[in-house]
Amino acid sequence: MSEAPRKNRKQVVEALHEVAAEMHNRMQRGDPPRMILPVRSKTNISFDNKLGVFKYGKNKTVRDATKLGSARQLLRTLHITEFIEEMIDSEKSSTLREMYYISEGWGNGKFGSQNESNNLAEDLEIVTKCLREDFKLRPEEDGARIIGNITVEERNRRGEWMRINCRDDVGDSGYGVPYNVEEEKLKLVDEDIDFVMAIETGGMFDRLIENGFDEEARCALIHLKGQPARSTRRIIRRISDEWKKPVVVFADCDPWSFRIYASIAYGAIKTAHISEYLATKEATYLGITADDILAYDLPSDDLTKQDIGALEAELSDPRFNTGWWQEQIKLMQELGKKAEQQSLAKYGLDFVTDTYLPEKLDTIGLGY
Amino acid sequence: MNEAEEISSKQKQASIGEFFEKNKHFLGFDTQQRAIITAVKEAVDNSLDACEEARILPDIRVELRRTKSDELEMISQDNGPGIPRDSIEGVFGKFLLGSRFHAIRQTRGQQGIGITGVVMYSQLTTGSKTRVISKVKSDSSAVFVDLGIDTKKNKAIKSSEKRDIWIDERTGVEISHGLKITTVMKAKYQRGKKSVYQYLRMTSIVNPHASISLVVMDKEGEIIEEGNWVRTSNKLPRVVEEIKPHPHGIQLGTLQRMLRESTDRRMTSFLKHNFSGVSPRAAKEILGAADIEEGRTPKRIKPDEAKAMITAFQAVKLLKPPMDCLSPIEDLLIKKGLSKAIDSRFASTVTRSPTVSQGNPFQIEVGLVFGGDLSSEGPIEILRFANRVPLMYQQGGCLLTKALEAVNWKSYGLDQPGGSGIPKGPAAVLVHLASTNVQFTSEAKEAVSYNEEVFDEVRKAMLEVGRGLKNHLKKSSERKKAKEKFELVNIILPEISKKSSELLGREEPDLAPVITQIMNAVFLEEELSWNKESRLSMCSVTIHNYTARARAYTILAKWPEGEDTSMAFNPRGGRKEAKGLWAWRLDTLDPGTSTVLEFGISGLSKGDWNETDIFFRGNGEIIGATRMDEALLDEQRKAEALEAAVEEVRRSSAPSEAIKERPVTVFEPGANTDWFGMEGDGE
C-alpha cells in the first residue's frame, strides 16, 4: 500500500464541487448548509486491523451554518475551493502560508489564523479524499535531512532527474528531503544499509555523523526536526516499504518525543485520514526510554506541569494502549523525571556510539 | 445673624493645648508627605461644609508650590460664605470639635482636627503665620489678616489686619464672598495612591456638585501635577436637619457633661430637650427605672444616678431617631461622580434606606463601575468615604473593606482568587457611610471600626450592586450572541449562497426558509440613545420573528419613573403596570417580520440612562428579553399600594413635613433590581 492514490485535475475539481453542491442542495431544500467531517481528536482514532495503523473512527461532526463560527468556516471552505480551482487552471501552486495571506482579499471568508487555513485544507483533503498535493498546496515546514549510503533520484526544477548519493554527494547537512516525495518527484534507487535511524534532535544527528556512526553501523540517519513533517514520515514509509529496512526512532525521553514516535509508527491524529501512506508500522522506539534513565543513571530534569498533563493524556491515547507504553509512561510518572538524548554525554562524547546505541540495537536484533 | 455668623457661632470650642498634646500623633501630620494631604483636607472639607450650609455651589481651588526643598506653600480658595471678622480668631485659633456634642448631624468637619491644626503646624515647622482673606457678602470689603497661635493662652494672635476690596488675582474680578487661606509648612508633595491629587479626585466623586481644581508647582513655578474636576450636578446635597442625640448612643461621660452643662430645671424637661426619640411618657419611664425623681435638677445628678440612667435608656422602649439628619449622595449622583473620575462601561449603584445602630442613624451607599479603561490586572480599586470624606489610609483594617471582602464576587462575575478577599478585574467600588456618628478604629479616623449593623448594610449593598453587574454581564453576553446570529443570517449565509452558486454555475437559492430554520426564535434588541434636539432619552426596541409561526406578545420595559421624569414620547400608548414599568401589547408578528417599539423619557440628562430591562408576556421565548414574573410583579404592586397609603397618612398628619425639601426619588436604572426575576427562564 505504498502508492498514494492520485487524482487527475478533473477528478479533483469534481470532488471539490461535490462539497459546494452539498451546501447548495441543502439551501435549496431550506436547510442550513453543512459539511460532515470525522471528529479529529484522540477520542476518535482507532486501530485499523487491515492497514495496521490508526485511522479516524466513526464519529462525525457536523459543521453547519447554525453558528457564526461554523458558517464562516463553510464560507472559507468555498473560497479555498475557488482558489484551488484557479491554481489548477493556471498550473500554479502556493504555500499554505501564501494562501493565508491571499485570504486577506476574501472579505468575510478571510482566515483568522494560519492554523485555521491549514486545518481547513486538511478538512478538504478528508472530505474529497484528495491529497494536499492535488490541491497544489505546499507546506511551509522543513523536510528532514538524511545522511547514509542510499541513492535517490530527484526531479529538479528544470524537470531533469538528478542522481544523489546521500553519503557521497552531500555536505555535512545531508540530503534535504523535498516537500513532495511521491514517485513523480523522487525515486529510491539504491542502498547499502542495514537499517534506518530517525533522530529527534539536530545535536544528536550531528554527533552521530561526527562519530561516523552511519558507516560503522551501516545505517541511514534521518533528522526529524522535532515533530516530523508529512514528507519526512512519507519518505521513511517508502524506505521501509520499498527496501524492507527496519526503522528505529531515537528521541529524548519526554512525553512529546513519545508523540513523535507515535506519529511515525501509528499515524498522527491530525492526519489519520492518510495514516496508511504516512505511518510506518514497523518502526521501533529505540530510546531513550524511562528504563534507560535508571539503567544508565542519566542526568534528568523534573517534569513540568505541561509534561505531566501530556503524560496523563497519553495514558488514554489509544495509540499508547500497549503494555510496554503504559509501563514506560507510568514509570516516568513515578520518576517525575525526563532526560534528553544528549544527557548521554555525561559519559563522554563517544559513549552514545560506542556503548549506548550498540547495546540498545542488540536488544532488538540489530547488533553489529 | 447672617448665615456666616450663624454657622460660626455654633462652633463650640475646646482647649487647644490639651487636645493637641493628647492627640499629637493622630493629627495627620506625622510625615511630611501626609502633612500636606491633611492640610488640604482640612481646608477643602471646611469649604464644602460651609458652602453646603450656605447653599452655594462650591468652586474650590487648591494651589501648592514648593518654596524650599522641604517646604510647601498651600493656597486654598473657595466661593463660600466667608467668615465674619469677629469669628476668624475662633475658627482659626481654636480647635473645633464640630458640633457633635450638642447637636447631631452628618458633617465632614467631624472627621478632622480642624483648620487650626494647619495654622499650628505651619507655625511650629516654619514659624510663619497663616494669611486669611475672608469676604462676607453683607460686608462691603474683605478682611485681610495674618494669624498665629499663642499655645499657652490658647488664643489666636492677629497681626497686619486690614480691610480692603478683594480682587481675584486670576480673573481681575472683585470677589463678593469667599475665603482664601495661604500658609507655609514643612511638607513634601507625593504622587500616587496617597496624594493630594487622589484625595481631591475622591472628594470630587462624592461631591458632584462641586468644582475642584488643583495645581502643584515646583520651586521654579513649573506645573508638576494638575487636576480639574468640574461639577456634574447643580443639585446641592439637601439640607440636613440637626438632631439631638438618641439615648441608645449615649455614653456615661457624655451624659454627665450634658447634665453638668444643662440649664433645665427638671429632669423630665432635660430628657425631652436634649434627646431625640424620648416622648414625655418615655422620659417618665426612664426616670422611674433609674429611680430618679422627675423634679430633680440635672446639675445635681450624681455619677451613680447617671449610670442608672444609662441602664434605663436600654430598658425603656424609645422611638427611633429621625433620619433626615443624613445626606446620602443618591444613586444617580454617585453614577455622575464616578463617571467624571473613572471611564467605565457600566455603573451599578445603590442607596440603602437609612437605619439605626446604637441610636445613631446611618446610611450606606455603594457604586460599582466596570469595564472601559479600567485595568483588568490586579485587585479592584476601593474608594471609601465616611460622610463624603475620602478615607485614604488603613484600607485593610476598615469595616467597609472587610464587608466588601466578605462578598462572594465570583458569583457576580468578578475574579476572586481563593473565594474571598478583594476581587480582581476591571472594576472599582465606591462605598459611602453617612452617619451622625462614624465610629473609627482610632483617632486617625482613617478606618471605620467594626459594627454588626453597619457591616450587614454594607454587605447587602454590595450584593445589590453585584447583582446589577451580573445582570449586565449576562445581558452583554446575550446581546453578543444575538449580534452573531444576525451577522450569520444577514452577511455570511448570503455569501455562502452566492459563492456556492458561482462555483457550480447554479441559481441562488431562496434563503428565507433557511434563515427561519437557523434562527428559529424571536429576537429582541433594545437600544438607548440621547436625542439632542428633543432632549429625550430614547429607547428603541426591535423585535424580529424568525420562527415559522405568527407570534403575539406584550412587551414591558423598565423606565426611570420619578418626580422629574415622564414618558414624553410614546406613540404606541400602552399602559403603566407598576412604578417604572410600562407595557405595550403588540400586533401579531408574522414569520420573518419585525417591528420597532419606541418611547422617549424627558427629565434626564445625556448619559443618565444607560441600561434597561425588557420583559414579555406571550407564548414562546424571546431572546434578549425576560419572561415577566407575574407573582413578583403582584408583590411589587402591593408594596406600592401600601407605600402610597402610608404616604397619604403621613401627609395628612404632618402637613408641614410634606413640603420640606426631600430627596427626589431617584430611579433605579434597571440594573439594580432583581424583583422582576432577572434569573428568568429565557434560556
Residues 172-191 of chain B with CB under 8 A from chain A are none
On whether the CB atoms of residues B284 and B294 are closer than 8 A, the answer is yes
What three-state secondary structure class fits B538?
Answer: strand
Say if A85 is an interface residue toward chain B (CB within 8 Å): yes
Distance from the Cα of residue B65 to its chain's centroid: 31
Segment B322-347 shows an average pLDDT of: 79
In degrees and rounded to multiples of 5, residue A59 shows phi and psi of -70, 130
Model's pTM, two decimal places? 0.67
Q: Between B26 and A304, where is the model more confident?
A: A304
On whether the CB atoms of residues B543 and B598 are closer than 8 A, the answer is no
Cα–Cα distances in Å, from B12 out to B8, B97, B100, B114, B263?
Answer: 9, 7, 9, 12, 17
- Among B46-55, B94-103, B384-393, the least confident range: B94-103
pLDDT of residue B25: 65
Q: Please report, as a single letter, which amino acid is at residue A301.
A: D
Percent of chain B at pLDDT above 70? 88
In degrees and rounded to multiples of 5, residue A186 shows phi and psi of -140, 130
Percent of chain A at pLDDT above 70? 98
* B518–A82 CB contact, under 8 Å: no
On whether the CB atoms of residues A149 and A196 are closer than 8 A, the answer is no
On whether the CB atoms of residues B666 and B562 are closer than 8 A, the answer is yes
* Closest to B31 measured CA to CA, from B185, B167, B140, B156: B185
For B39, the grid coordinates are: 492640610
Say if B488 is an interface residue toward chain A (CB within 8 Å): yes
Query: Is A101 annotated in the active site?
Result: yes
Segment B382-395 shows an average pLDDT of: 90
- Domain A145-363 classified CATH 3.30.720.210? no
Q: What is the domain partition of chain A in residue ranges?
A: 9-138, 145-363
pLDDT in tens, B430-489: 999 998 888 888 767 788 989 899 999 999 999 999 998 998 888 888 888 888 888 999
* Closest to B539 measured CA to CA, from B451, B590, B632, B612: B612
Question: Does B317 score more than 90 pLDDT?
Answer: no
How far apart are the C-alpha atoms of B143 and B254, rounded to whole Å? 37
Say if A42 is an interface residue toward chain B (CB within 8 Å): no
Percent of chain B at pLDDT above 90? 37
pLDDT of residue B545: 92
Contacts of A113 (CB under 8 A, 6+ apart): A100
Chain B contact set for A22 (CB, 8 A): none
pLDDT-derived band at B71, boundaries 50, 70, 90: very high
pLDDT-derived band at B662, boundaries 50, 70, 90: very low
How far apart are the C-alpha atoms of B569 and A189, rounded to whole Å? 88
pLDDT in tens, A19-74: 999 999 999 999 999 999 999 888 898 888 888 888 999 999 999 999 999 999 99
On whether the CB atoms of residues A329 and A320 are closer than 8 A, the answer is yes
Chain B contact set for A23 (CB, 8 A): 496, 500
* A79–B514 CB contact, under 8 Å: no
Say if A107 is an interface residue toward chain B (CB within 8 Å): yes
Segment B656-669 shows an average pLDDT of: 36
Helical packing angle, A230-243 and A255-265, nearest 10°: 50
Question: Does A292 score more than 80 pLDDT?
Answer: yes
On whether the CB atoms of residues A55 and A39 are closer than 8 A, the answer is no
By C-alpha distance, the chain A residue nearest B509 is: A28
pLDDT in tens, A154-201: 998 888 999 999 999 999 889 999 988 988 889 999 999 999 999 999
Residues 511-570 of chain B with CB under 8 A from chain A are 511, 513-514, 517-518
On whether the CB atoms of residues A265 and A283 are closer than 8 A, the answer is yes
Segment B356-361 shows an average pLDDT of: 83
Q: What is the mean pLDDT of chain A?
A: 92
pLDDT-derived band at B650, boundaries 50, 70, 90: low
Q: What is the 3-state secondary structure (H, E, C) of chain A?
A: CCCCCCCCHHHHHHHHHHHHHHHHHHHHCCCCCEEEEECCCHHHEEEECCCCEEEECCCEEEEECCCHHHHHHHHHHHHHHHHHHHHHHHCCCEEHHHHHHHHHHHHHHCCCCHHHHHHHHHHHHHHHCCCHHHHCEECCCCCCEEECCEEEEEECCCCCEEEEECCCCCCCCCEECCCCCCCCCEEEEEECCCEEEEECCHHHHHHHHHCCHHHHCCEEEEECCCCCCHHHHHHHHHHHHHHCCCEEEECCECHHHHHHHHHHHCCCCCCHHHHHHHCCCCCEEEECCHHHHHHCCCCCEECCHHHHHHHHHHHCCHHHCCHHHHHHHHHHHHHCEEECHHHHHHHCCCHHHHHHHHHHHHHCCCCC
* B504–A32 CB contact, under 8 Å: no
Q: Please report, as a single letter, which amino acid is at residue B138.
A: S
Say if A109 is an interface residue toward chain B (CB within 8 Å): yes
pLDDT in tens, B220-236: 989 999 999 998 888 88
pLDDT in tens, A222-270: 999 988 999 999 999 999 999 999 999 999 999 999 999 999 999 999 8
* A24–B518 CB contact, under 8 Å: no
On whether the CB atoms of residues A18 and A77 are closer than 8 A, the answer is no
Say if B502 is an interface residue toward chain A (CB within 8 Å): yes
pLDDT of residue B491: 93
Rounded to the nearest angstrom, the minimum Cα separation between B547 and chain A is 13
Question: Does B667 score more than 70 pLDDT?
Answer: no
pLDDT of residue B20: 59
- Among A6-10, A238-242, B636-640, B662-666, the least confident range: B662-666
* B488–A108 CB contact, under 8 Å: no
Say if B491 is an interface residue toward chain A (CB within 8 Å): yes
Segment B100-119 shows an average pLDDT of: 60
Segment B634-660 shows an average pLDDT of: 67
Q: What is the mean pLDDT of chain B?
A: 84
* B499–A75 CB contact, under 8 Å: yes
pLDDT of residue B82: 92
Residue A288: asked if its preceding bond is cis (omega within 30°), the reply is yes
pLDDT in tens, B477-519: 888 888 888 899 989 999 999 999 999 999 999 998 899 888 8
Nearest by CB: B492 against A17, A30, A68: A68
Q: Exposed, middle or buried by CB within 10 Å (0-12, 13-18, 19+), for B324?
A: buried
Nearest by CB: A65 against B484, B496, B503: B496
- Among A197-201, B112-116, B668-672, the least confident range: B668-672
- Substitution target in B497, B499, B501, B517 with the highest count of A β-carbons within 10 Å is B499
Question: Does B108 score more than 90 pLDDT?
Answer: no
How far apart are the C-alpha atoms of B32 and B223, rounded to whole Å? 20
**CATH pick for A9-138 out of 1.10.10.10, 1.10.287.310, 3.40.50.11540, 3.30.930.10:** 1.10.10.10
Question: Does B62 score more than 80 pLDDT?
Answer: yes
Question: Does B362 score more than 50 pLDDT?
Answer: yes
- Among A223-227, B26-30, B78-82, B278-282, the least confident range: B26-30
On whether the CB atoms of residues A319 and A52 are closer than 8 A, the answer is no
Contacts 24+ apart (CB under 8 A), A316-323: A316/A42, A317/A42, A317/A262, A318/A42, A318/A45, A318/A46, A318/A47, A318/A54, A319/A42, A319/A45, A319/A54, A319/A262, A319/A266, A319/A267, A320/A258, A320/A262
Segment B144-161 shows an average pLDDT of: 83
Say if B396 is an interface residue toward chain A (CB within 8 Å): no
- Substitution target in A13, A14, A28 with the highest count of B β-carbons within 10 Å is A28
pLDDT-derived band at A113, boundaries 50, 70, 90: confident
On whether the CB atoms of residues B99 and B11 are closer than 8 A, the answer is yes
pLDDT-derived band at B216, boundaries 50, 70, 90: very high
Q: Give me the domains of chain B, ranges plus CATH numbers.
A: 3-229 (3.30.565.10), 247-315 (1.10.8.50), 346-471 (3.30.230.10), 510-659 (2.60.40.290)
Q: Of the listed A56, A100, A101, A368, which one is catalytic?
A: A101
What three-state secondary structure class fits B615?
Answer: strand
Residues 50-69 of chain A with CB under 8 A from chain B are 65-68
